Every structure is written in C-alpha cells, then in structure tokens.
C-alpha cells in the first residue's frame, strides 16, 4: 500500500531556516554599515570644509605678506628721501647758504621734523656727544615700518591658521580609514557562515567604529 508524504515547498521553508541569533547578527552588521556610512560622510564633509579653510587662510596670508612688503618698501623710500633732503640741508648749511638750507628744510616730511628739531637741540655742530643725525634720534619713526611689522605678524598668524586647518583636514581623512575598515569587516561578516567567526568580525568592526568615532569627537568642527 503506497504511503503518501507531504512535502513543503522550498520557498515556504527558506524564511524559517534563519534562526533569531542569525537575524540579530545580520541586523548588527547592517546597523554597523549604516552608522559607518554616516560617519564617513560626516568626516568627508568636515575634511572638505577644513580644506577650504586652509586654502582661504593661505591666500589671505599671501595677500597680507605682499602688503607688508609694500609697506616695508615704502618705508625704505621714505628713509632715503629723509636722508637726501637732510644731506642737502647739511651741505647748504655748511656752505653758509641759509636760503638753500631753508628750502631743503621746508621739504622735510612732517614726520621727520620732530627728529630734526630734537637733533638740532643737541647743538650737534659744537657738541661732540651729539647723535650723528636725525635718523638716529628716538623721535625718528616711520609709520610704514610699524605697519609692515603688524602686517607681517598678521600674515604669520594666518599662515599658522592655514597649517592648523590642514592638520584638521588630514585628521578627518585619517578617520575615514577607520571607517573604511569597518565597512570591510561588517560587509564580510554577512558572508561568514561560522557563527563564532562572524561574531568576532562584528565585534572587531564595532571596536574600530567606536575608536573612529571617539577620534572624530576630539576633532574641531569647521
């Protein structure tokens, strides 16, 4: 007498072959992949912002440095003018041509006059201890020298800020290396059949993700 056997179609048994533990591992892998993708996107976004900050600060430092050099050049030209007019006055005074000496004196820069008057007050023609000339007097100041030094310091600060931004950019890029490793291990865990090995891979991936996130949290935000 023939015996009848009821066979359940394979498509109806596929879903029941996965145990709850396996589903948890799969969901864990998917969660790791999702979090890692978000972390990678954030790090890439911050890296691009810091890269822009770097370029901007370097450009500003370069422009400021040019302005500093221009001010320094102008200061040098002003010093030469002061020296030429003073030498002309000195030659005319020594020659006894007071009319020509007054012409030179009227052409002195306004900022040069206090130093000249302070020098004259020392009676330089009779006082052997007098300062050699007005350009050596403490009253002699060139505004462009001060401006050049200020701009040079500002350029140094901007360059340092650009260097710091480059360091932050590099750090965020480095964090993506951690996240890339997490994506790799979380991905291959879905292909591993041995449960213990899959758990080990997922734990390792989670540890790398945690380390990467902690590293990113220490970095400044642009």
Q: Residue 28 half-sphere exposure, CB side, CA atoms within 13 Å?
A: 20
Q: Residue 147 half-sphere exposure, CB side, CA atoms within 13 Å?
A: 15
Q: Which two tokens stand for residue 105?
A: 């004196």
Task: Please report where in the chains the tokens 């990113």 appear, as a residue.
Answer: 216
Reported residue count of the chain is: 222
CB atoms within 10 A of CB 55: 13
Domain borders along the chain are 22-217
CB contact at 8 A, 156 and 196: no
* Verdict on whether the full-model pTM lies above 0.95: no
Could you list the pLDDT tens digit for every one of the 222 residues in the chain?
A: 444 444 444 443 444 456 777 788 788 888 888 899 999 999 999 999 999 999 999 999 999 999 999 999 999 999 999 999 999 999 999 999 999 999 999 999 999 999 999 999 999 999 999 999 999 999 999 999 999 999 999 999 999 999 999 999 999 999 998 899 888 888 777 777 777 888 888 888 888 899 899 999 999 998
CB contact at 8 A, 125 and 119: no
Q: What is d(CA 153, CA 146) in angstroms, rounded to the nearest whole number?
A: 11
Q: What is d(CA 96, CA 184) in angstroms, rounded to the nearest whole number?
A: 93
Q: Which of 159, 172, 176, 179 is nearest to 220 (CA)?
A: 172
């Amino acid at each position: 007498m023939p015996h009848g056997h009821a066979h359940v179609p394979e498509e109806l048994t596929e879903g029941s072959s996965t145990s709850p533990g396996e589903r948890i591992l799969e969901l864990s892998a998917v969660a790791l992949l999702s979090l890692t993708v978000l972390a990678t996107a954030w790090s890439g976004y911050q890296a691009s912002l810091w890269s822009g900050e770097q370029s901007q600060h370097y450009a500003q430092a370069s422009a400021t440095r040019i302005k500093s050099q221009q001010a320094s050049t102008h200061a040098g030209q002003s010093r030469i003018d002061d020296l030429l007019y003073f030498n002309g006055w000195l030659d005319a005074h020594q020659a006894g041509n007071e009319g020509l000496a007054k012409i030179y004196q009227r052409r002195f820069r306004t900022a040069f006059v206090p130093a000249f008057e302070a020098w004259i007050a020392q009676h330089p023609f009779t006082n052997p201890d007098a300062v050699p000339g007005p350009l050596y007097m403490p009253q002699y100041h060139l505004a462009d020298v001060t401006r050049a030094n200020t701009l040079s310091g500002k350029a140094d600060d901007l360059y340092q800020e650009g260097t710091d931004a480059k360091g932050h950019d590099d750090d965020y890029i480095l964090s993506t290396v951690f996240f890339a490793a997490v994506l790799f291990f979380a991905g291959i865990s879905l292909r591993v059949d041995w449960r213990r090995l899959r758990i080990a891979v997922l734990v390792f991936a989670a540890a790398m993700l945690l380390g990467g996130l902690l590293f990113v949290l220490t970095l400044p935000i642009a």
